[in-house]
Each structure stands twice: as structure tokens, then as C-alpha cells.
A and B are shown apart, each in its own frame.
Chain A
């Protein structure tokens, strides 16, 4: 029982991170109908930016944790947004209106490029940082097992919830949100109504990158160690989360993320840790077989 509660906490933490990345996939898919294959690597880049930022702050002797975290988040969001913008500009925009395969290939190329760029410029070794937030609550003692809630886990969940609230507001209540949703429905019509579609798509990529940046910072804080390869697996899992929740649906992406996180934690704890990734991929295949529109998605109807 205590173990299950612990896994619930771990799973929710992990799921919040997946959910944040999944939103980037779902938004980009919603607006241009394509998977942003380089999204996982954007998340990886943001984690590296976070490590650099933490190192600078440590060198500058800034010890206040809230201040340091805010600064790192802002810096990471800013620079990662530039990466999101560039990915769209280089790998997607020149190929808009081309075959479906062409942007996918260029995005895979971008993913390989980003991974190797980080490897070349920042080194292939893992980057450890000293723990930023230490300690936590001991929630419950039972059968020789202590349920532990680390402050960093609490932070991840709180930041994610706050971000989701802000994001929902952005999409449902603001002018940009309306433009973004209009582009999702019909790009040509939106353009005819005088909305700058290119700008909206760029901003969508940047927003996705910003959320990935938050995920990257959170993971850096949580695990304290990163390498240039983390983007690949996290990317696939987040994509699975997006599909599970229903591609195009923002609450769906979050729900999918949480479910994937929980499944992964429980699988690793009770069945076999080696095959936890296999479980995720198997879920992806099963969902697509039996409910291709996901839990909260609308079924796609193809018109002839």
C-alpha cells in the first residue's frame, strides 16, 4: 500500500513532465497536421540550457532557491523558444504545401542535427549538477516503508498545474488563442480573414518549446543529471501521451501524460523495470488500434 502511494507520487511527477512535452506535440499537430519530430530534442536542449544557467548562478553565488529557479526558468524559456522558432523556420516552413513525408524527413534530420550539435558543443558525457532542492516530507510510515514526497516533486506538480491554468487561459480567452484555434480549423480561411498564419504557426512552435523548456528545467532539478540522448525517449513517450489523450486536445495531452507516467512507475515497480519502455510503446500501439482518436479527442473523418 505504502509502495503504491509512493509510485503514485513518482508517477504523477513523471506524468506532469510528459504532459508538458505532450502539449507541444498536440499543438503543433493541431495547427499544421504534422508531428514535430524534433520536439523531444528541443526539450533536451532546454535541459542543457538549464544546466548552464544553474552553473552560472552557482558561480554568481545566488543561493536563494526561488530566485534561482525563476531565473533559470526564464532564461531557459527564452533561449528554447528561439530553438522552437528556428526548427519551424528551417525544417517546416520551406516545406509547407509539399508532400507529407518531406517535412517529416527534414524534422528527423533536425532531430539528428540537434542531438549531435549538443554532443559536439557541450560534450558527450553526462552532465551532473548538485541538487538544487533537497529534502521533502515523509508522509506515511507503514510496513517498514516510508512514503516520501520530495520538494522537487511538489514543485514539478505545482508548476505544471499553474502553467496549465495559464495556458488554458491563453488558448481559450486571448486573441492569440482564438487565432491559433482558427488556424487549426482552416488555415486558408483564417488567412483570408487577415490573420498572419505564418506568425501564428511560429508562435505555436515557440509556445510548445517554452513548455518543453519548463519540462527540461524540471527534469534537471528532479534528476540532477542529463545527457544529449534524453530527448529521444522522452519525445516518444510524450508523443504517446498526446496520442493517448487524443491529438489536438490540450487537456487530453495532460491526462495522457499523467497516465503514461503512472503506468511507467507502476510497471517499473511491480513488473519489470527493464521493460517499462516496452510497456509505453505497447500502450501506444494498443490505443491506436482500439481508439485512434484517443481518450478525449474527436474522431477524424476523412472526406473524399
Chain B
């Protein structure tokens, strides 16, 4: 809109300096109450402290950063103008993501062989894979069906609590509980989907957020069933087809290590869990990829692009939306079962809104609808804070900043891949 009036005109240096000075002034305003001044609790009374040098550094950095950014922006614009004639490489992208995808699966399968006795590496990678699976599940709702869900963690919680309750009260095993928990989560997905059928965009986002909070508040307050804020502890761990991962005993049933004649090691279970989530995630991926080729998957993508056109074509939008919610929720529930089994302890703490935001960020930053992008984004978002463990309190700060910056840099996500799975040749030019 503003482009109509902004005649191309490279700003001169005095203009640049003025602009940077203005930014520095705003930085000063922002910084005074937060960085410059701080209230410290001293014996129940707040006392004021100042941090002027830090504020000066912040303002100076803003000034210099603004100038540098403007300069880099110029360079980038000039380069883009020359590169604009080149054809967009959308088609080419699909080829290398395929190869890379297989390479990554191979790498993921081989990793425990190399790092088998490094507990930290396996644990972190398991976390990454949980987020990959959640991302792929949410991708059905957000990426394919275009329904913005900010309460996805609710389904994750439903799955986790279903397994935890079934296991602790009725002694169900991991494998028996898995389908039941998935079904329960799917039911909740429909429960959420039903009232929100008429909503779209931001309204839907807020309602799903509210739904997620309702589930969390119920988990916190329904102490009899869920244990309230204390959560549920001593959830049984999954076994290897009936062989438990325990130190061997002489009289008890055969353990995993005994059965295979191995030396007992606590790492066995970790590695097994790693492979378990890898397989679950890959099954999710396969499932979603196949769904995309079925009529229902096509309908999701069609609805994402234009809901009214969908209705005009005689697609039952109600069923399409509900199925997306139900399937997305089911996948989240399955991930939840794994989470509960892996942790052995769950509490409402694990299912706060920030988790939903992280999962959504993984989907959107990865490029909505792109299965490979989800992996990439999950790796970035889980590993980056992990690398920054030493300055733990800045983790979420950096996370928030990264979300903003990646969006500004690439609004379509790291791998912008919003193109429908199936498309007419003409449409290709428009969406690219």
C-alpha cells in the first residue's frame, strides 16, 4: 500500500543518522524503565537500583545496529534486484528434500550406535523427535487444513494423562494404552472442533488457546483424578515386547538384557525410547504423507486455500474440519503417551501455553505444510536453547526474539512450501 507513494530513493547518510538517532531515542525510552532502573526486594521493601552504563550500551547498540541494518538492507536489495530474473527454485527444492530426508532418517537411525553411551545426546535427540512428531501432528491442522490451533498442547496432555491414569489405576501397558489414548485425544479434538466450526483465523486461534487453558486448569484443579499440581508419578515405562528394562534378577521374569544375553546397562532403555519415538514419528510422517494424497488430504488443502470455493464445490467443510482436528489431536495424543512413558512423571507444568507456542512455532517456522521444514525447525528450536543452557535465563528470551526475526526474514517459514500437493501448471506461477 505504501509502495504506491514511496518512490525509490536511496536515503542519504544524514537521513540515515537521523533515523538511527530516532531509534536510539526509542531504545532509551524502552530501556529506562526496564534496563536503567530496577526495583530490588530488600527485606520486604522495594529499593531502587540503577544500571545506567548497561542502558548506555543498549542505546549505543541500537544506534549502531540500526545503521548496520540499513546498510545491509541496501546491499541485499541491490543483490535481489539482479537476482530477480532467476527462476524461483520451487520445483528443485522437492528433489533435494527427498534425498536429504532419507539421509536424515539414516543418520537418525545410526546416531545411537555412535553416541550410545552418551545419555545427554540421546535424551536431547529424543526431545527433538517428540517435537518433530508434535510438529507433524499439528501440521495436519495448521499446515494442511489451515486452521490455526494455539491449544495443541491440550491434546498432548490428554494423551499423556490418559496413559498415566490407565497405567497407574488399571495397570495397562504402553502398547495397549497407545490406541486408547489416541482415540481419547481425537475425541477431544472433535470436542474442540465442533463449537469452532464457524470461526476462522485469529478468532479460532484465541478459542483454541482458551480450550488449551481450560484443559490445563481442569488438570490443576481436579485433584482427585489428576493429582492436581503434583501430577502423577511412577508411570510405568514401556517394555520391549514384554521384556522389561531392569537390572536382572534371578527369580523374576526375563529382562531385556538377560533375554539377549547382554550386559545390563541403563542406556538400553534410553536407546529403546529413542528408537520408539523415531518409529512413531516416522509412522506419523508416512501417515500424513499418505493422507495428503487421499481425497481428505486434498480437501484439507483446498479448504486452506479457499473455504467458500470448497463449499461451492460441494465439499462438506464440517467433516473436513473435524477430521483435521481429530487426526491432528490423535497424533498429539500419541506423542503425549510417549512423553508420559518416557518421563515417568507428568504434571500440568508440562502442558502450558508456551509449549503450544513452541509447537506452532516449529510448524510455522519450518514452513507450513512442509514435513521436512518441521524437522529443521524442531532441530533449531530445541537445540539452540540447549546450546545456550549456560545462560539458561536467556533461553526463552532468545526463543521469542528468534520467532520474530525468522518471521520477518522469511514470513513463509524456513522452507516455504505452501504449494498444494497437487496443482495445475498455471497455478504454480501464482503461488510460487
Contacts and interface: CB of A to CB of B under 8 A. Distances in A.
Contacts of A101: 142, 148, 364, 368
**B interface bracket (residues with beta carbon within 8 Å of A):** 35 or more
A112 interface: yes
| Chain A CB within 10 A, most for which of B48, B210, B214, B399 | B210
A91 B217 contact: no
B89 interface: no
Interface string A235-255: 010011001000000000000
A112 B34 contact: no
A113 B400 contact: yes
B360 A99 contact: no
B403 A48 contact: no
Given A52-B37, A78-B29, A116-B397, A284 B407 contact: no
B403 A302 contact: no
B394 interface: yes
Interface string A14-42: 00000000000000010000110000000
| Chain B CB within 10 A, most for which of A29, A117, A127 | A117
A51 interface: yes
Nearest to B410: A102
A118 interface: yes
B26 A85 contact: yes
A128 B214 CA distance: 29
Contacts of B214: 278, 281-282
Contacts of B74: none
A5 interface: no
B39 interface: yes
A108 B403 CA distance: 8
Contacts of B206: 35, 236, 239-240, 243, 284
Interface stretch (A63-71, A140-148, A163-171, A285-293): A285-293
A105 to B, nearest CB: 5
Contact of B41 (A85, A109, A125, A280): A125
B36 to A, nearest CB: 9
A256 to B, nearest CB: 13
A174 interface: no
Contacts of A128: 41, 44, 46
Interface in B32-83: 32-35, 37-41, 44-48
B40 A51 contact: no
Contacts of B45: 130
A191 B4 contact: yes
A176 interface: no
B81 to A, nearest CB: 19
Contacts of B41: 123, 125, 127-128
B201 interface: yes
Contacts of B233: none
A112 B396 contact: yes
A262 interface: no
A99 to B, nearest CB: 6
Contacts of A271: none
B397 A113 contact: yes
B408 interface: yes
B207 interface: yes
B5 interface: yes
A35 B396 CA distance: 22
Nearest to B218: A278
Contacts of B11: none
Contacts of A110: 400, 404
Contact of A86 (B30, B35, B198): B30
B411 A129 contact: no
B407 A106 contact: yes
B1 interface: yes
Nearest to A187: B1
Contacts of A94: 408
Interface in A36-85: 45, 48-49, 51-53, 55-56, 59, 78-79, 82-83, 85
Contacts of A83: 30
Interface in A170-202: 187-188, 191-192, 197-198
B203 to A, nearest CB: 6
B411 A98 contact: yes
B353 interface: yes
23 contacts: A29-B202, A48-B34, A49-B33, A53-B33, A79-B30, A82-B29, A95-B407, A96-B1, A101-B142, A102-B364, A104-B202, A108-B150, A111-B400, A112-B354, A114-B400, A115-B396, A115-B400, A128-B41, A197-B2, A236-B206, A278-B213, A284-B207, A285-B195
Given A111-B400, A286-B195, 15 more contacts: A51-B46, A85-B26, A99-B411, A100-B202, A109-B400, A113-B400, A116-B399, A121-B35, A240-B206, A243-B203, A275-B217, A285-B196, A288-B207, A292-B203, A302-B308
Among all A-B residue pairs, the 10 with the closest Cβ atoms: A109-B403, A113-B400, A112-B400, A281-B210, A82-B29, A102-B411, A106-B407, A116-B397, A109-B404, A98-B411
Interface of B: 1-2, 4-5, 26, 29-30, 32-35, 37-41, 44-48, 142, 148, 150, 195-196, 198-199, 201-203, 205-207, 209-211, 213-214, 217-218, 220-221, 308-309, 353-354, 357, 360-361, 364-365, 368, 393-394, 396-397, 399-404, 407-408, 411-412
